[in-house]
Amino acid sequence: MSATLAATRAPGVRIGAAPLLLAPGVLLVLLLFVYPAAYGLVLSFQPMQGGMWENYHHFFTTPRLFGTIMTTLGIALPATLINVGLALPVAYRLRTPFRNRRLLTTILVVPITLGTVLVADGLLSYLGPQGWFNRVLLSLHIVAQPVRLVHNYWGVLMSLVIVGFPFAFLLLLSFVTGIDPSLGNAAATLGAPPGARFRHIALPLLAFGWVVSFALTAGLVAWQGRLLFPALPALAILLAAGIAKANGKRQTANGFDLFTFYLLPFTLAALAIWLPFGVIRPAYPQHTLPEAVALERLGTQVYGRFGVAGEAGAELRGWQLNGPTRAGDTPELALIWHALGRQNRNWTVFVHVIDAQGQIVAEDNRPPQDDAFPMLQWATGDWVEDRHPLALAANLAPGEYHIRVGLFFPRTERRAGVYSKRGTLRGDYLDIGTLTVGS
């Protein structure tokens, strides 16, 4: 029996390092691509309101949302055409060995290790209003003012070309190198010029590869969640090594192979581990507070549940006033909110400083955290600190002024109701205390 199994086992298949090399990439695809896609699809049929198809009906009947499709196509389609159009002739030229071919290939795929964050930072440094490109143009008196190349359509397009080109190049290179060179040699023997050989031999054989590269590159540039870099290149190298070992192919242990299959992936993996904590995390501040921290920052405790009838809403639990409060100063009011459930509206917070006659002498109207964390994103149990600067007029008379806080919906100017702990409606604003203006 053992002899029969040994005879039927596929020749060249080696059980050992290959599964270990393949496992990270397979787990990544399952956990970070297949599962989220399936989970998101299920969630799309579970709207907060309406029937099963409500999310899709809302998307396709709302011009602002439906218009994002055309915006995406307007960026993704040109970027994909440029990437595939440039990658095809480069890959075709690099299909045959020549001196420094590996070095040139490495240079072309270096942007794959950078990712969105570093590419954006580089574009801002080189092409921004104060970048070297505009400085050269201004010093040569070619332009009278800086050319705007970032924070617009062209900046996004350039970033997608920089990041997407290596993918299109590697995909097409794998298809080009699979073409039997004897076909071109036979055509050349029969007198076919290079252009004719490319049109009648290479191009038809590359049609499928071109379509696949176009589709995958379009999906890449249309999807902006590329925070996995440079983890993906490291996993791709391990996958390639694993597939090579599974097929029974041994890599020669020269310096380039040792660098490619050992030092490079582990360096990229280490960089991928550091990048979220060293670059990405500092760029995105935490929007919620741990409950213990929020309770410590309550300051002056108040209570008011803001929302509409039938909804959980959010409660205001406390506030602090930071900074001097003399005429001409701008103290900052910190509010501590506690979400009692999912919010169904993007409310805007209004803070009014009221004098004895009921007139507004200072105010600030803005979404929570200046719209960095809209209320539609609040989840049940979230503690949110929200800060509002209050500019006091230079001629404001000394004395005590009341502070009123409320929520309103900008489109309709409708205000949220304010309820007590027992559920009694108290009005459409909450008087949280007083502000004393010194002399």
Q: Calculate the alpha carbon distances from 180 to 18, 187, 306 in Å.
A: 28, 12, 71
Report pLDDT digits (tens) over 350-384. 999 999 999 999 999 999 998 888 898 898 899 99
Helix-helix angle 231-246:17-29, to 10 degrees: 140
Q: Give the pLDDT mean for 400-422.
A: 92
Per domain, the residue ranges of the chain are: 14-283, 291-437
Reported pTM: 0.47
Residue, of 209 and 238, whose pLDDT is higher: 209
User: What's residue 118's pLDDT?
Assistant: 79
Report the alpha-carbon distance of residue 259 to residue 75 in Å, rounded.
Answer: 36
What is the pLDDT of the chain when averaged over all its residues? 79
Domain 291-437 matching CATH 1.10.1840.10: the answer reads no
Helix (H, G, I), strand (E, B) or coil at 209: helix
Q: Calculate the alpha carbon distances from 259 to 266, 268, 274 in Å.
A: 10, 12, 21
Residue, of 255 and 391, whose pLDDT is higher: 391
Report pLDDT digits (tens) over 191-226. 888 888 877 877 777 766 666 666 666 555 544 444
Q: Give the pLDDT mean for 41-59.
A: 78
User: What's residue 8's pLDDT?
Assistant: 44
Report the alpha-carbon distance of residue 390 to residue 349 in Å, rounded.
Answer: 13
Report pLDDT digits (tens) over 257-284. 555 556 666 666 666 666 666 655 665 6
Report the alpha-carbon distance of residue 328 to residue 316 in Å, rounded.
Answer: 28
Phi/psi of residue 352, each to 5°? Answer: -120, 135
Q: List, in sequence order, the alpha helices (H) in 110-193.
A: 115-127, 132-139, 153-176, 181-189
User: What's residue 225's pLDDT?
Assistant: 41
User: What's residue 72's pLDDT?
Assistant: 75
Residue 226 carries which side chain, given as an amino acid letter? Answer: R
* Cis, peptide link before residue 47, omega less than 30° from 0: no
Question: Nearest-CA neighbor of 108 among 157, 180, 57, 161?
Answer: 161
**CATH class (in words) of the domain with range 14-283:** mainly alpha
User: Are 91 and 172 spatial neighbours (Cβ–Cβ below 8 Å)?
Assistant: yes
CA triple 423-379-414, angle to 5 deg:
55
**Burial 391-425, CB ≥16 within 10 A → b, else e:** ebeeebeeeebebbbbbbeeeeeebbbbbeeeeee
pLDDT above 90 as % of the chain: 26
Residue, of 164 and 268, whose pLDDT is higher: 164
User: What's residue 3's pLDDT?
Assistant: 43
Residue, of 120 and 280, whose pLDDT is higher: 120
Common-topology check for domains 14-283 and 291-437: no
Q: List, in sequence order, the alpha helices (H) in 45-100.
A: 54-61, 63-93
